[in-house]
Structure 1
Amino acid sequence: MKLGEIVHTTPEGLRERRYLQVKDHIVERIAQLRPGASIPAERDLAVVCSTSRTTVRKAVTELVAEGRLVRRQGSGTYVAEPKLAWPLMVSGFTEHAVSEGLKARTSFLSAERMSAGPELAERLGIRPGGSVLSIELLRFVNDASMALECIHVSARRYPGLAAAVAKTGSLYEVLRDKYGVSVAHAVETIETAPAAPREAALLGTEVGSPMLLVSQHSHTAEGEPVEWVRTWYRGDRYSFVAHISRPPAPVTAGAQVSNTR
């Protein structure tokens, strides 16, 4: 910008700058409050910030999506609990929660048999039309609903699995102790999706709130498919952590290898 040059700010730019100022103001308030504390109503924040309720609502909605605030229908908006950092690793939900010193609990929702379509049959290593057992579990950490898990396995390979999981709440424990099967590796896909009415009701959040949808395809060390799982996690309560490393640099053609003693 040249000396003396006049910069003209568009109305859109002014609104964006005002919105960011309002968001910063709310973030400062959050930093002074404990998790679970309520923040002022949107109309009161609009007065304090000398702006419209529309601008305040936009800032609050974004902070809810980021997991810093949580809305409760008919109650108000509150400072969210800190997110749990959940590492990406081959481990059962209960097993991992306990290893982190967290209190884990599972609610067994349902179990039903279904016929495998071509895609599910391929994932589970069975013929199309084969019998699949679908188990739905609601996972809790420290008494807060955290994840809704839908597990698909071959019904023929694991007879009696539903009753055993309903008793223990731990799928991997049952697979290991009852069937001698251990999951060695898995491929996970993570997507974002808005909460549908049923998921929102079970996980105690609003319809349309951001969710993390994790699909996991697990295998034994020998490569045998074990499960295909779809899990809904509350986006305001979870963050996933992966430990990654840079692969070794490839050796280029013609490169000389020194033999130093």
Structure 2
Amino acid sequence: MRVPRYWTVKQALLGLVDAGTPGTALPTERELAERFATSRTTVRQAIAELVTEGRLDRTQGSGTYIAEPLLVEVQQLTSFTDDLGPERVANRILDVRTEPADAETAGRLGLAAGHPVQVVERVRLVDGVPLALETARLAGDLPGLAAELEARGSLYATLREAYGRGVDRVQDAVQSRLADPREAELLAVDTGHPVLLVRRLSHTADDRPVEWTRSVYRGDRFTFVAHARTV
């Protein structure tokens, strides 16, 4: 099997990353091309993949650096804050509003089309780095939602503690796609950066749908973890 030249260079660069420390600058593309006896185009392709995978950071006009490790694992039945701890997680709330449910939202939440739903749109940050853009649509009357969410940070804790709606089970659908311009700006990545789109439907213990959420996660920083048990 023929191995592309850029792949060989990429593996060599990974060796430099593993042996180095975060924040260390890599040699220039010209120096790397000379070291590996290849073209700068080949080096650039290898670096681009490692940037996409979160192993390198590239700063325009400055250089390429070994990235800080920030790989986040998110479970299914817990919230972002529960998974990582409130000391690491922050939320930039973009909007909390009421709007009529569109056909998809109404179907998922068991409502009539046009029925009012609460919408929470926010950017989730871990250690100060934007990781996910989340838009949650919530069934039922949730008075004072913005203030309750601001006080707690965690949406699931807010639903449980302020409104008595604990999440008992969820269904996630995950697919890969590329970031559009708005997503890229909010997540501090380039347009076209790989992301994971996660659509989640949550139910309470008495099987009432409570949450229909669309989340866009940075593909270089996110690991989705699911647990199953054989019967």
Based on CA coordinates, which of the two structures has the bigger radius of gyration?
1
**Pick from 30, 34, 38: which aligns with 1:43?**
30
Q: Is the 8 A contact 2:74 2:80 kept in 1?
A: no
For residues 74 and 109 of structure 1, what CA distance do their matches in structure 2 show?
31
The residue that corresponds to 1:59 in the other structure is: 46
Counterpart of 2:63, as a letter, is: G
CA RMSD of aligned residues (A): 2.1
Matched, 1:204 2:188: yes
**Pick from 147, 158, 171: which aligns with 1:174?**
158
> Structure 1 vs Structure 2: percent identity of aligned residues?
42
For residues 242 and 173 of structure 1, what CA distance do their matches in structure 2 show?
21
**Pick from 202, 218, 223: which aligns with 1:239?**
223
Residues 63-106 of structure 1 deviation map (CA, whole Å, 9 limit, x = unaligned): 2233322333444322223243414221121122118xx52221
Q: Which runs of 5+ in 1 are unaligned?
A: 1-8, 249-261
Secondary structure of 1:218's counterpart equals strand
TM-score w.r.t. the length of structure 2 is 0.90
For residues 207 and 44 of structure 1, what CA distance do their matches in structure 2 show?
29
The residue that corresponds to 1:114 in the other structure is: 99
Counterpart of 2:128, as a letter, is: D
Matched, 1:185 2:185: no
For residues 171 and 85 of structure 1, what CA distance do their matches in structure 2 show?
18
How many residue pairs were aligned? 231
Residues 196-235 of structure 1 deviation map (CA, whole Å, 9 limit, x = unaligned): 2222222222221111211110000111011111111111
TM-score w.r.t. the length of structure 1 is 0.80
Residues 149-204 of structure 1 deviation map (CA, whole Å, 9 limit, x = unaligned): 111113x4222212321333221122112111100000011111212222222222
Q: Is the 8 A contact 1:114 1:134 kept in 2?
A: yes
Pairs within 5 Å for 1:1-261: 13=2, 16-98=3-85, 103-154=88-139, 156-245=140-229, 247-248=230-231
Q: Which runs of 5+ in 2 are unaligned?
A: none
